[in-house]
Structure 1
Amino acid sequence: HWPETMLTYLPEDRILFTCDFLGSHLATSELYSTGRPGEREAAKRYFAEIMMPFSNLIVKNLDKLDGLQIEMVAPSHGPVVSNPSYIIDCYREWSAGPMRNKVCLPFVSMHGSTRVMVDALVAALVSRGVAVERFELTASDLGHIAMSLVDAATVVIGAPTVLGGAHPAAAHIALLANALRPRTKFVSVLCSYSWGGRAVEQISGLIGNLRAEALEPVVCKGLPRSQDLQAIERLADQIAQKHRELGLM
């Protein structure tokens, strides 16, 4: 979708035909955007799933629009936008705006150990003023996770160990994040195991495209014990401190 996407400007009618750019995942009988509920979410989902890997290019190409008098944006996907500044400002925010004081927390749990860790981290973060969007991978829409990745300052993946490695659902979400290249600043892992394994190392190896600082993972054998829960509290402290240092809190 980039760099082969071409934009065409019709000066007589001040219409910008944007092809794949500035579109949305919204199938509707309405030709024009009306500001109805769900339009922003559909546009953000489209950005997250299609455009997020090209955020740097988006920033550069948005600047090229500054000298144009645009009264309408006509993308190839989604309705025609009669308020161009709205969708352009959204793309500026999503591609280069400040990250949110938020943790995106996708996880999967087989026998409950990882879920206990996730519950503990969510409670610890919320008590410190950090918002959390948690996604149970066996039931979550991947598009919603992608949208959360757009502006989450921190990503924590919860993964039990299966046959010496990360649960396939956790490995899948790590691969997805790696492909989408979100601008997240910090990453960590919650991991449980029985006989050992390399789940944390595996997930770390799958997210090499993320230019994020790796925070200390929390790994426990079986159900988390008091020392594991204390480690989760320390991780929550570290995340909150990192967010404060970025001016997000």
Structure 2
Amino acid sequence: MNTKLKEGIDWVGYIDWTVRDFHGYKTESGSTYNAYLVQDEKNAVIDAVKAPYVGKYLERIKALTPLESIDYIVCNHAEPDHSGGLPGILAACPQAELVCNAKCKTALEKHYDTAGWKWHVVADGDTLSLGKRSLAFVDTPMVHWPESMFTYVPEEKLLFSMDAFGQHYASAFRFDDEEPLDVILQEAKAYYANIVMLYGRPISQTLERAADLEIEMIAPSHGVIWRSHIKEVFEAYQKWVVCKPAAKVVVLYATMWKATEQMAQAILEGAQECEVEAQLFNVDSTHMTRIVTEVLDCAAVAIGSPTLNNGIMPSMAGVLCYMKGLRPANKQGFAFGSYGWSKRGGPNEVAEAMDVMKIEAMQEPIRSQYAPTPEILEQCREAGRAMGKIAEQYK
């Protein structure tokens, strides 16, 4: 495995092949916790790994340089998948200073026993000389925690980008040109949609700052390192930060006695009459990670639920709760579903959730008392056609 980014700069992280959940995000492709060693007149380690894997992390560092030679350990982000190994490496390198910004210091003090840690607190724009190389620090608040920070090596045109441009993707290869581009861009899209979608505005501002830097390589904290397809991932991010619609519609539903499912199928049929991509997902058989990834760039979305105990189906409630937290933007859509003796029920609650998400309502909810009649199914098809026409504008 090639772990060399530049002469004297190496990957020293951990590949987590078996992780399948990241606080609700289904990581079917595993993940990596990337950390990097920069060797110069002074040596710096960029970030740590999850606490259980600190042993392998220290082994990788020791294979390149004695632990006693580490002068600085940079923490770009206090979340435990990146900072969990800090107590271990600081104990092994007692002479090393921990480099972070003030907000990160405060966060780390709330996570760990930091007594005895040597702090080197930096501010936005500060630099730290290593000898022939230097480290420059760029605050990136809310990408995706308040203390998040980039570290940049101007002499190498190398950006350590923390969670930005990352992917939850385990691979035996470290670089973007060693994997199929469509696969890693899809993983980057899923990561963006499920982790940082709600922070579109600060990420957009961060992209503007990053555009001012000369960059030949982007080394994120998860997934592969970008060295050949930086243009492609930048262009993708510029679309994702505004949830730029594609010529695509998405139909989501939960069902009990197949009434809402019939309505969903009819909506899909209507959308398929247009020259657009149309996708149908039963939320009971599709994980919300996939759902949110597809909703990210759809132009229109229809969401349906039957009525259970005068309310929404629990599985759909969970998906909507997840979506509301991520705030997909620039969507139109409508609610639909069936009900029995309760006239309020699932469709109304779906419509309320869509309103909270600021999904522009195309029409009133389509509601069916028990099994849908042919007339209601035709109403669903017509609504699907309207979704398709909206999406066609983005071809």
Common topology (TM > 0.5): yes
Which piece of structure 1 moves more, 154-163 or 123-132?
A: 123-132
Higher share in helix: 1
- Tell me the CA shift for residue 168 of structure 1: 0.8
Matched residues in 1 for 2:323 and 2:197: separation?
10
Secondary structure of the structure 1 residue equivalent to 2:226? coil
Please list the CA deviations of residues 89-139 of structure 1 after superposition, one character each: whole Å capped at 9, or x if unmatched.
Answer: 221121136311211212111111111111111111101333211111121
Unpaired runs of 5+ residues, structure 2, are 1-143
Matched residues in 2 for 1:61 and 1:199: separation?
40
Q: Is the 8 A contact 1:9 1:16 kept in 2?
A: yes
Q: Is the 8 A contact 2:244 2:297 kept in 1?
A: yes
Q: Return the match for 1:203 from 350, 354, 364.
A: 350
The within-5 A match list for 1:67-78 is 67-78=212-223
Q: Which runs of 4+ in 1 moved over 3 A?
A: 240-244
- Tell me the CA shift for residue 215 of structure 1: 2.3
Q: Return the match for 1:224 from 357, 364, 372.
A: 372
**Identical-pair percentage:** 27
2:272 alignment partner AA: V
Q: Return the match for 2:303 from 144, 157, 180.
A: 157
Matched residues in 1 for 2:252 and 2:385: separation?
20
Q: Is the 8 A contact 2:198 2:328 kept in 1?
A: yes
Which piece of structure 1 moves more, 224-233 or 63-72?
A: 224-233
1:183 alignment partner AA: A
Q: Which residue of 2 aligns with 1:14?
A: 157
Q: Which residue of 2 aligns with 1:179?
A: 325
Q: Is the 8 A contact 1:101 1:243 kept in 2?
A: yes
1:14 alignment partner AA: K
1:219 alignment partner AA: R
Aligned: 1:242 with 2:362? no
Which piece of structure 1 moves more, 152-161 or 205-214?
A: 205-214
Q: Which residue of 2 aligns with 1:215?
A: 362
Q: Is the 8 A contact 2:161 2:220 kept in 1?
A: yes
Please list the CA deviations of residues 6-45 of structure 1 after superposition, one character each: whole Å capped at 9, or x if unmatched.
Answer: 1111001111011111111112232222252321111111
Secondary structure of the structure 2 residue equivalent to 1:100? coil
Q: Is the 8 A contact 1:179 1:209 kept in 2?
A: no
Q: How many pairs were matched up? A: 247
Aligned: 1:108 with 2:251? no
Matched residues in 2 for 1:175 and 1:153: separation?
20
Matched residues in 1 for 2:349 and 2:173: separation?
46
Unpaired runs of 5+ residues, structure 1, are none
Secondary structure of the structure 2 residue equivalent to 1:152? coil
Matched residues in 1 for 2:178 and 2:318: separation?
34
Aligned: 1:191 with 2:342? no
Aligned: 1:54 with 2:189? no
Q: Is the 8 A contact 1:5 1:21 kept in 2?
A: no
TM-score, structure 1 as length reference: 0.92
TM-score, structure 2 as length reference: 0.59
Matched residues in 1 for 2:185 and 2:394: separation?
23
Q: Is the 8 A contact 1:177 1:207 kept in 2?
A: no
1:130 alignment partner AA: V
